[in-house]
Amino acid sequence: MHRHVISINGEPASTIVVGRGVEDALVEFAGTRTSRLIAVLCQPTTMGLADLYSGSLVDEGFQVTGYTVPDGEEAKRLSVVEDVYRFLNESGFTRDDLVIGVGGGALTDVAGFIGGTYLRGVPVMYIATTLVGAVDAAIGGKTGVNVDGKNLAGVFAHPEAVLIDVDILDRLPDSLKREGAAEALKVGFIEDMSIVEAYEREALGVDLEEIVNRSVAVKVGVVNEDFRERGRRAILNYGHTVGHAIETTTGRSHGDSVAVGMVAEGAASRAALGFTGEERQRAVLEQVGLPLEAPDATAQTVLALMQRDKKRDAEGLRMVLLEEFASPKLVHVDDATVQAAFEGIGLT
Ligand code: GLY
């Protein structure tokens, strides 16, 4: 069992537990409060797991009530958030009670948003059940719902604990291991090449406990320095300027979209900063089965969506680019660099 701690202003804010079997940690963290009421939020795909964890909590004397939101990104809608607020209100939920989100990145994003806003903030815990969630979405206190673009509304709010059961991750279908590989490889490209080397050696057969621990360690280090993304945290968005636009316009999975986004931003990195790792990056993405292009997108739509990206500021569009592996920079990009990004993924 490995524990990572996110601290804000020197105070511990969130503990991330990575191991095999997390019921004991669940009861431990839930038991740190005097209140015994817990609302478990899940999606249809995680209902079985949510029931199991709820059972463990009931056995320990907690009063557990459950709510199921729609699957996938459909959960991240303000209308869903309002439904859950009503449910919490009807359940007599107070600021002393606890919300537990059981699911992947979409579920923890919306559970965190609800926890961060209901009654101006109630305690939240996540049980991250996908690799994307475990290596990225559930870690670091970003929450959000989609409006026109991805995560356009959200709050920074830390879950008290994030529990990651590697036995669950090991049982995921390859499609979800591949999706998570995109985010884990992103962490590799920007900071820890041992993650990239592991995927180069073993493709989807990598040791997920090792991959998750390394990815979480990098993310915790970055978030501890810059929780509110005033600077360094932006490096975690490598591949995401183009990736979010691809995801919105094509409806492809987050992992597939980020993979294509990294190919594009790798090409932009070559054009703007002389990055020489483009081929190696493409090769490892291909080796794990991630896409390198999005033929179903058009340059015009992707550009229009990028113009609304959160990373844009008054001076224009910004992207995270690599000078070399493990050396990322957030830079304003000119038209030629955007053009190079689009050419890198065959966008016309
Ligand atoms: N997913 C990027 C971040 O948490 O900052």
**Each residue's pLDDT expressed in tens, for the chain with a length of 348 residues:** 999 999 998 899 999 999 999 999 999 999 998 899 999 999 999 999 999 999 999 999 999 999 999 999 999 999 999 999 999 999 999 999 999 999 999 999 999 999 999 999 999 999 999 999 999 999 999 999 998 777 889 999 999 999 999 999 999 999 999 999 999 999 999 999 999 999 999 999 999 999 999 999 999 999 999 999 998 999 999 999 999 999 999 999 999 999 999 999 999 999 999 999 999 999 999 999 999 999 999 999 999 999 887 777 777 899 999 999 999 999 999 999 999 999 999 998
- Give the C-alpha separation, 127 to 108, whole Å: 8
Q: What's the CA-to-centroid distance between 174 and ligand 1, angstroms?
A: 23
213 & 93 share domain: no
pLDDT at 162: 98
242 & 257 share domain: yes
Q: Which atom of ligand 1 is nearest to the CA of 234?
A: 5
Q: Whose CA is nearest to atom 3 of ligand 1?
A: 236
The CATH number of the domain where 332 resides is what? 1.20.1090.10
Q: What's the CA-to-centroid distance between 109 and ligand 1, angstroms?
A: 11
Half-sphere exposure of 39 (CA within 13 A, CB side): 28
Q: What's the CA-to-centroid distance between 220 and ligand 1, angstroms?
A: 10
The whole domain housing 214 covers 177-344
83 & 146 share domain: yes
Nearest to 269 by CA among 241, 311, 231: 241
Q: What's the CA-to-centroid distance between 140 and ligand 1, angstroms?
A: 7
Say how many domains are in the chain. 2
166 & 213 share domain: no
Q: At what angle do helices 254-273 and 278-287 cross, to 10 degrees?
A: 170
Q: Which atom of ligand 1 is nearest to the CA of 223?
A: 5
204 & 159 share domain: no
- Give the C-alpha separation, 214 to 209, whole Å: 9
Nearest to 204 by CA among 237, 168, 172, 239: 172
Q: What's the CA-to-centroid distance between 167 and ligand 1, angstroms?
A: 24
pTM of the predicted protein model: 0.95
107 & 183 share domain: no
pLDDT at 57: 97
- Give the C-alpha separation, 290 to 183, whole Å: 11
- Give the C-alpha separation, 17 to 120, whole Å: 26
Query: What residues does ligand 1 touch, defined as CB less than 6 Å away?
Result: 136, 140, 142, 233, 236-237
Q: Which atom of ligand 1 is nearest to the CA of 222?
A: 5
Q: At which of 170, 185, 216 does a domain end?
A: 170
Among 108, 190, 230, 236, the mutation site with the greatest number of ligand 1 atoms within 8 A of its Cβ is: 236
166 & 208 share domain: no
Distance from chain centroid for Cα 65: 26
- Give the C-alpha separation, 237 to 27, whole Å: 34
pLDDT at 315: 78
Residue 245 in tokens: 């636009």
Distance from chain centroid for Cα 59: 31
196 & 239 share domain: yes
Q: At which of 170, 189, 218 does a domain end?
A: 170
Q: Which atom of ligand 1 is nearest to the CA of 137?
A: 1
Q: At which of 150, 170, 190 does a domain end?
A: 170
Q: Whose CA is nearest to atom 2 of ligand 1?
A: 236
Q: Say whether 153 sits in a helix, a strand or coil.
A: strand
End-to-end CA gap in the chain: 48
- Give me the sign of the Cα torsion angle 231, 237, 238, 239: negative
Half-sphere exposure of 187 (CA within 13 A, CB side): 27
Give backbone dihedrals phi and psi of 137, rounded to 5 degrees, phi first: -60, -40
pLDDT at 96: 95
Nearest to 98 by CA among 90, 108, 106, 88: 88
Among 136, 190, 216, the mutation site with the greatest number of ligand 1 atoms within 8 A of its Cβ is: 136
159 & 202 share domain: no
Residue 3 in tokens: 């524990």
In what helix (H) or strand (E) does residue 123 lie, and over which residues does it extend?
none
